[in-house]
């Protein structure tokens, strides 16, 4: 059996293997997914050099959205200083559409809710007056659609306010079959700058669904099965979203648009969303519950290497202001906000700001926390310590400072210890508490006290452990797992399972959709273990599966070095892995074949003048089980 599995894969690999050192053209052999390309393949299109900030109607109003509510929120964002704090997008979510006009297919706005949209006879409506007003106020404007024929509200929410009306064809308000027409309308004619594209219409309208049986909507063979990647048509889903990306580029020649993918982590979007979108949802919807917030946080928390300028992880919008994050739960609200900032998540307020008190506005406007989210370095925080109870996340900032957040997930007080090793700093460090502004210092370690659900968050200054450069895991925004070696994607079992706000405790419980299980990680193996070679733990490095290719931006440094090997947690025994370093597509260094239980190899390369360094780990045969490998202490130095 082993032999048969090997054959196909090995044939392709062997070809490239022989050819690689010889010519660059051969190295680009399409048959070899590990062949270096010399380029950065994560998305660069659209406007999201930093995570977007703004407001969205959904968490505040559900589908009961109207012009007054949107404009009142926009005005308050100006009046309360939140626009100046960085909130720029005003986004309308589900509930704005009335119908698709027949026979020309132009979308009609619900003008009873958006009076300024009424634009004359034949149901002609336009959002241009509204987007003009928002633009004049210094905002950008966002709209919502679905990749299927029908929307989430239509498919899943029975008592939904503001459902589209009319015949079956008139109620087909989603993009399916109308991508070019709708994107042109939204962006060129109506002047929107942002679109969130949901996926319910390609998920819930199979022939056996109640809506189809009752004749509410046309059947559309589901492309997504939320509970089975094997039953999801991943290429078809991807192709539809790619068509939207193409239309967005065409309709926005100035590049001023933002494309938000809303696939809730399904469809293996982790593997391709970062090539297409500007933000991509990693989980199903957040609700105003502490437990659900933790679930959503977990789906992004170990995915720092999948977030880069112009393409960010999206654990969903903020629920600060409501439910367990309301005025009586400011500790929880602060934790939610601080963690979203650390994750480089979009900061989209989902609160009716007319109800906000001064303390809530102050939290949403906390400049010191916002500065972490909007830091020019674009590095999502990396987990330095993880447990079900307390977690420590560290974020590298552009000026060399670090930010650290210590989260108490439990309902009891807790006294964790923070060390300079967590921070990859040495000597004495100075902490600024971002809630109080208080300064303190420590060397070695310090004991902290956290109230239930509290997050302490500090900006830290100190000498870097690596003086003349950086560890790659300190700059995750510069590392892109172009191929992460996952052969069979599956849901991440480490994500917090909450008491579902949807089903409660009926049924067997909710199971995670895809959340990055087995993907490349900073300072950990792809399955979250410490990096370990021959019994020695490396607290710094990149963990990834074999048969992977990492693209690394080099910002003017001269040397790359790492200690490489097969991680001790491997279950596929008897494999050999070779590690290669490329600079702008040219082979610079190659390790000897490394096996489990032998001294790790060191690999070094002169990367002077090379913009893109690629790190390839290649197994000599197709592994029968996931094969985690380690780029230990991987670093770029002077």
Would you name the residues annotated as active-site residues? 198, 285
Alpha-carbon distance of 6 to 24, in angstroms, equals: 26
Task: Tell whether residue 314 is a contact of ligand GLA (CB under 6 A).
Answer: no
Of 198 and 332, nearer to ligand GLA (C-beta) is 198
Residue least distant from ligand GLA (Cβ) = 152
Task: Tell whether residue 262 is a contact of ligand GLA (CB under 6 A).
Answer: yes
Of 201 and 309, nearer to ligand GLA (C-beta) is 201
Of 238 and 281, nearer to ligand GLA (C-beta) is 281
In the range 193-252, which residues lie near ligand GLA by CB under 6 A?
A: 198
In the range 522-561, which residues lie near ligand GLA by CB under 6 A?
A: none
Give the closest residue to 490 by CA, choosing from 508, 525, 516: 516
- DSSP, residue by residue, 423-492: HTEEEEEEEEETTT--EEEEESEEE--B-TT-EEEEEEEEEESSTTEEEGGG-GGGEEEEE---SS----
Binding letters toward ligand GLA, positions 557-576, x by CB under 6 A: --------------------
Alpha-carbon distance of 416 to 446, in angstroms, equals: 9
Task: Tell whether residue 152 is a contact of ligand GLA (CB under 6 A).
Answer: yes
Instruction: Give the CB-side neighbour count of residue 11, counting CA atoms within 13 A.
Output: 6
Q: How far is the CB of 490 from ligand GLA (least distance, A)?
A: 22
Of 260 and 591, nearer to ligand GLA (C-beta) is 260
Question: How many residues contact ligand GLA, by CB under 6 A?
Answer: 8
Binding letters toward ligand GLA, positions 269-308, x by CB under 6 A: ----------------x-----------------------
| Residue choice 53, 54, 58, 288 for contact with ligand GLA (CB under 6 A) | 58
* Dihedral over alpha carbons 248, 251, 252, 253 (to 10 degrees): 120
Contact 262, 200 (CB under 8 A): no
Contact 532, 523 (CB under 8 A): no
Binding letters toward ligand GLA, positions 335-354, x by CB under 6 A: --------------------
Q: Which residues does 64 contact at the CB level (< 8 Å), separation at least 6?
A: 95, 161, 162
Q: Which residues are 37's β-sheet partners?
A: none
Alpha-carbon distance of 484 to 6, in angstroms, equals: 19
Report residue 373 as tokens: 């989210």
Of 93 and 614, nearer to ligand GLA (C-beta) is 93
- 312-314 and 279-281 beta bridge pairing: parallel
Of 58 and 290, nearer to ligand GLA (C-beta) is 58
Contact 559, 607 (CB under 8 A): yes
Task: Tell whether residue 326 is a contact of ligand GLA (CB under 6 A).
Answer: no
Instruction: Give the CB-side neighbour count of residue 429, counting CA atoms within 13 A.
Output: 29
Q: How far is the CB of 70 from ligand GLA (least distance, A)?
A: 15
Q: How far is the CB of 150 from ligand GLA (least distance, A)?
A: 11
Angle CA 219–225–227, to nearest 5: 150
Q: How many residues are listed for the chain in this entry?
A: 638
Of 69 and 422, nearer to ligand GLA (C-beta) is 69
Question: Dihedral sign, CA of 297, 301, 305, 309?
Answer: positive
- Run of H or E including 246: helix 234-251
Q: How far is the CB of 131 from ligand GLA (least distance, A)?
A: 19
Q: How far is the CB of 93 from ligand GLA (least distance, A)?
A: 5
Q: How far is the CB of 246 from ligand GLA (least distance, A)?
A: 23
* 106: phi then psi, degrees, rounded to nearest 5: -70, 135
Alpha-carbon distance of 196 to 182, in angstroms, equals: 13
Q: How far is the CB of 62 from ligand GLA (least distance, A)?
A: 8
Of 262 and 423, nearer to ligand GLA (C-beta) is 262
Task: Tell whether residue 94 is a contact of ligand GLA (CB under 6 A).
Answer: yes
Q: How far is the CB of 285 from ligand GLA (least distance, A)?
A: 5
| Residue choice 93, 510, 523, 580 for contact with ligand GLA (CB under 6 A) | 93
Of 155 and 601, nearer to ligand GLA (C-beta) is 155
Q: How far is the CB of 628 from ligand GLA (least distance, A)?
A: 32
In the range 406-445, which residues lie near ligand GLA by CB under 6 A?
A: none
Q: Is 494 exposed, middle or buried (0-12, 13-18, 19+ CB in 10 A)?
A: middle
| Residues of this chain that bind ligand GLA (CB under 6 A) | 58, 93-94, 152-153, 198, 262, 285
């Amino acid at each position: 059996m082993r032999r048969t599995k090997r054959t196909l894969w090995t044939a392709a690999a062997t070809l490239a293997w022989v050819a690689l050192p010889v010519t660059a053209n051969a190295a680009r052999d399409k048959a070899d997914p590990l062949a270096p390309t010399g380029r950065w393949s994560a998305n660069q299109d659209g406007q999201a050099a930093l995570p977007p900030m703004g407001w969205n109607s959904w968490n505040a109003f559900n589908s009961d959205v109207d012009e007054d509510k949107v404009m009142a929120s926009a005005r308050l964002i100006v009046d309360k200083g939140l626009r100046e704090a960085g909130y720029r997008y005003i986004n309308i979510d589900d509930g704005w559409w009335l119908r698709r006009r027949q026979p020309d297919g132009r979308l009609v706005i619900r003008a009873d809710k958006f009076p300024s949209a009424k634009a004359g006879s034949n149901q002609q409506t336009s959002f241009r007056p509204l987007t003009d007003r928002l633009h004049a106020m210094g905002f950008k404007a966002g709209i919502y659609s679905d990749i299927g024929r029908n929307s989430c509200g239509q498919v899943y929410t029975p008592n939904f306010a503001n459902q589209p009306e009319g015949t079956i064809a008139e109620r087909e308000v989603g993009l399916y079959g109308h991508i070019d027409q709708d994107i042109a309308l939204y962006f060129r004619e109506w002047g929107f700058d942002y679109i969130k594209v949901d996926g319910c219409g390609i998920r819930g309208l199979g022939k056996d669904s109640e809506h189809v049986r009752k004749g509410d909507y046309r059947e559309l063979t589901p492309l997504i099965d939320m509970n089975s990647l094997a039953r999801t048509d991943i290429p078809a889903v991807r192709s539809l979203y790619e068509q939207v990306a193409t239309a967005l580029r065409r309709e926005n020649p100035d590049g001023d648009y933002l494309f938000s993918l809303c696939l809730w982590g399904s469809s293996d979007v982790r593997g391709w969303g970062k090539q297409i979108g500007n933000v991509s949802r990693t989980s199903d919807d957040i609700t105003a519950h502490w437990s659900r917030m933790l679930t959503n946080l977990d789906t992004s928390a170990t995915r720092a290497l999948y977030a880069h300028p112009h393409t960010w992880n999206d654990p969903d919008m903020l629920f600060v202001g409501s439910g367990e994050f309301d005025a009586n739960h400011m500790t929880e609200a602060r934790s939610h906000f601080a963690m979203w900032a650390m994750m480089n998540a979009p900061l989209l307020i989902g609160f009716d700001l007319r109800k906000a008190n001064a303390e809530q506005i102050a939290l949403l406007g906390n400049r010191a926390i916002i500065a972490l989210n909007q830091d020019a370095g674009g590095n999502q925080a990396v987990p330095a310590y993880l447990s079900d109870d307390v977690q420590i996340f560290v974020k590298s900032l552009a000026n060399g400072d670090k930010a650290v957040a210590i989260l108490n997930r439990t309902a009891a007080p807790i006294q964790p210890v923070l060390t300079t090793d967590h921070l990859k700093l040495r000597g004495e460090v100075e902490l600024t508490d971002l809630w109080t502004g208080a300064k303190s210092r420590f060397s070695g370690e310090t004991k902290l006290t956290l109230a239930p659900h509290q997050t302490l968050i500090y900006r830290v200054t100190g000498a870097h452990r690596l003086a003349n450069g950086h560890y790659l895991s300190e700059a995750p925004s510069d590392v892109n797992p172009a191929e992460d070696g996952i052969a069979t994607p599956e849901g991440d079992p480490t994500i917090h399972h909450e008491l579902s706000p949807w089903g409660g405790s009926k049924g067997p419980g909710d199971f995670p959709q895809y959340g990055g299980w087995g993907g490349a990680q900073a300072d950990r193996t792809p399955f979250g273990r410490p990096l370990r070679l021959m019994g020695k733990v490396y607290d710094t490095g990149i963990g990834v599966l074999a048969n992977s290719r990492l693209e690394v931006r080099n910002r003017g440094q001269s040397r790359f070095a790492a200690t490489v090997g097969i991680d001790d947690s491997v279950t596929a025994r008897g494999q050999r892995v070779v590690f290669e370093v490329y600079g702008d597509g040219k082979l610079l260094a190659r390790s000897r074949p490394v096996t489990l239980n032998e001294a790790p190899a060191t690999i070094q390369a002169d990367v002077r003048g090379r913009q893109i360094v690629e790190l390839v780990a290649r197994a000599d045969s197709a592994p029968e089980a996931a094969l985690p490998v380690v780029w230990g202490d991987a670093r770029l130095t002077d």
